[in-house]
Structure 1
């Protein structure tokens, strides 16, 4: 397997506008094989990397203490 299958990509896209806490956010993306790569607090961006050269960039909105809403999801394939 050299790329993510469409089912996983669709499940990730379905997370848009879903609220979750930090633990759930990390666990969700780790379950798909992604690791946390970078956090840009000023831009509210979280970047995850995958071993198959995929990158997911999440734009988050803080709802309350430790509760986030995913406003936007970008999936890039760097081959």
Structure 2
């Protein structure tokens, strides 16, 4: 996933820092909180919010709601 991010331009001010094990730290100004959350959730386990804490908490809340929804649907046969 880090290769895809490095090859794309998401913002004029984006900064990409190479880390160990092919990981990167991505910093950029994006347009609106919903766009940011969509981008983060779209990356799945390949993205981690480091800051701000408020965004980190919002992502955690959305993931908890998703998990609750999927756990509930396990009771229903497909």
TM-score by length of 2: 0.30
Higher RCO (CA < 8 A, seq sep 6+): 1
TM-score by length of 1: 0.30
Q: Normalized per residue, which structure has more strand?
A: 1
Rg bigger for which structure?
Answer: 2
Q: Normalized per residue, which structure has more helix?
A: 2
